[in-house]
A and B are shown apart, each in its own frame.
Chain A
Amino acid sequence: MVEDTNSVPNDSEERVPIMQQILDNPFLLLFIGVAMPTVFYIVWGVMEIVTIPIAK
């Protein structure tokens, strides 16, 4: 089988870098942007509050 020497990828077929794929995906960014503060700010903060011992 003869290799097709004309199959050089053109610009449009160039692989998009992974970082650009992330930045180009608004719904992935939306997930990250909601998950990060939900976990580190709200969930962590609420866990600390609910574990405060109740005064007797």
Chain B
Amino acid sequence: MANNETFRTCPRTGLQFHDSAEMLMKANAVVGVVFLLLGGVLALLIGLTKWPDVHLLPADSFYLVLTAHGLDMLVFWIIFFEIAVLYFCSSTLLRCRLATPRMAWLAFALMLIGAVTTNVAIFQGNSSVMMTSYVPMQAHPSFYLGLILFAVGALIGCFVFFGTLVIAKAEKTYQGSVPLVTFGAVTAAIIAVFTIASGAIILIPTFLWSVGYIKTIDPLMYRVIWWAFGHSSQQINVAAHIAVWYAIAAIVFGAKPMSERVSRTAFLLYIFFLQLASAHHILADPGISSEWKVFNTSYAMYLAVLASMIHGLTIPGAIEVAQREKGFTKGLFEWLRKAPWGNPVFSGMFISLIGFGFLGGISGVMMGTEQLNLIIHNTIYVPGHFHATVVIGTTLAFMALTYFLIPVLFRREIMFPGLAKWQPYLFGFGMYVFALVMMGAGTLGVPRRHWDMSFLGAAMPYEFPGSAYLLMSLVGISAVVAVIGGGAYILVTVSSIFLGKKLDAGVISNKPTPVVTPVSAAISGHGSLGIAGFAAPGTFVLAMVFLVAFVLYYFINWKYLSQVWGLS
């Protein structure tokens, strides 16, 4: 170990930050938030265009903005922040130095250059091919090159994470297994490696095609392999934000997992099966067999869904157990009523968890069913679903974590605490409505990408019912509310980081120390290894409500399918 490395122990939590890791976490998180800001501005423009009475942008600008919004939000914001989370879950939670900080800076530089290159290509106006960039639509070569550079950087970041795990084990900075939160990050990093490799497999030949070295790219081949990148990148998010949920349950409540075995097995199910859910994008494509579709979506995906339901049960269950131990034992839900709803770290996490499960989870299973998928394929239902998973699930969880990291990592007091208190509600409930009305409009057949739902001047026009226009107006209104909530997050975080009152840095030493205080003990400790009994009755009731909603919605869609597509 080099002698000039230092470790800072946070006086508020006991967490320990390796100086190089700390700088890298800050850099990745800050750049991620810059892309969130850019993507948020673009989201407002899209929302105001999708609102039929406003219809702000002309067609060419709309497709340009939609391309930039998709990539800035779904790829750049989230993966920059996830790299920060990976470094936190390895170096900080395992109390060890980060492996190869120079390689980590190289990764950061490649990601930044790649993200900027792709954005420049898009805003120059000759790469409005949407996030999916389906061939034979062709973008400027720098569009693909930027994505490849970003992917290589992110891949290096993942291997820095794995290297840090090796260092922690070799230097014996932890006992037994890695903490559950770190295990969740391991799951995210594994999915990331597959995702990025798939991106390289398809984007490198597509880049060569764009510069003229390859004559043609088969559209079906492109779609199948691209979705191994495009959808799996959202599965990195799922594993990462669930790790963040476990972390926040530990931070706010000192909650330990109800059963480490069950939670780790659920993450293992993700490692086995979660990436296979990419297949649901191909369900309406000819040329691929039903066996491939049914195995990858129904059989494999349902095992990953089972894992999500386990996490959705064990995380609130762990919170309930921790709350009941503190004396909130009255009735089924005193533990929940008396939870710190004014603390954005908790409220953001809980709104994220409920929205991800009820809106994103249930709609995802419906979409992943081959027959039902035909009802909503390529409609605006699909963005309704993934805004529930990625924006409510991942972005809101990361926002909640930021409120914890500002005093701990950035050593600043949070500015505008009143606004911070309300921000998760404004953003979260704005997005709840946004996702719901999008799914409603999609069920009525409103297309996902088309600039003009009225198809004005089209050779074969189609008139949607008035309710579809109403729902699309609500999409616009709720988008504005959510963007205001997102703006509040940017205002609070940016002003806190740059103008907030400086906090005590804590003790700095030249080697990791085994000091453990309540927060660091909870976040890096281990819970019960057995299977908990009926220790969380309130959570059990919530799970039953979820199950009933799930079953009802699933069968309502079968009923709906029978009406759309009569057999007699």
Contact = CB atoms under 8 A, between A and B. Distances in A.
Nearest to A45: B224
Interface of B: 162, 165, 177-178, 183, 186-187, 189-191, 193-194, 197-198, 201, 218, 220-221, 224-225, 228, 232, 264, 268, 271-273, 275-276, 278-279, 282, 287-289, 292, 295-296, 300
B193 A33 contact: yes
Contacts of B264: 23
13 contacts: A23-B264, A26-B186, A30-B189, A34-B197, A36-B271, A36-B272, A37-B275, A37-B276, A38-B194, A42-B225, A44-B292, A45-B292, A48-B287
A37 B191 CA distance: 10
Contacts of B193: 30, 33-34
A48 B273 contact: no
A41 B287 contact: no
Nearest to A22: B268
Task: Say whether chain B's binding surface is mostly helix, strand, loop, or mixed.
Answer: helix
Interface residues of A, number: 22
A46 interface: yes
Task: Say whether chain A's binding surface is mostly helix, strand, loop, or mixed.
Answer: helix
A45 B288 contact: yes
A42 B272 contact: no
9 cross-chain pairs, A with B, having the tightest CB-CB distances, nearest first: A33-B190, A37-B275, A33-B271, A45-B224, A34-B194, A30-B190, A26-B186, A24-B177, A52-B287
A1 interface: no
Interface of A: 20, 23-24, 26-27, 29-30, 32-34, 36-38, 40-42, 44-46, 48-49, 52
Given A29-B186, A49-B287, 8 more contacts: A27-B162, A29-B268, A34-B193, A36-B276, A41-B275, A45-B292, A48-B287, A48-B289
Contacts of A20: 177
A37 B186 contact: no
B177 A41 contact: no
Contacts of B191: 33
Contact of B278 (A41, A46, A48): A41
A40 B303 CA distance: 15
A33 B165 CA distance: 17
A48 B292 contact: yes
Contact of A32 (B198, B221, B232, B272): B272
Contacts of A32: 271-272
B272 A46 contact: no
A29 B289 contact: no
B221 A26 contact: no
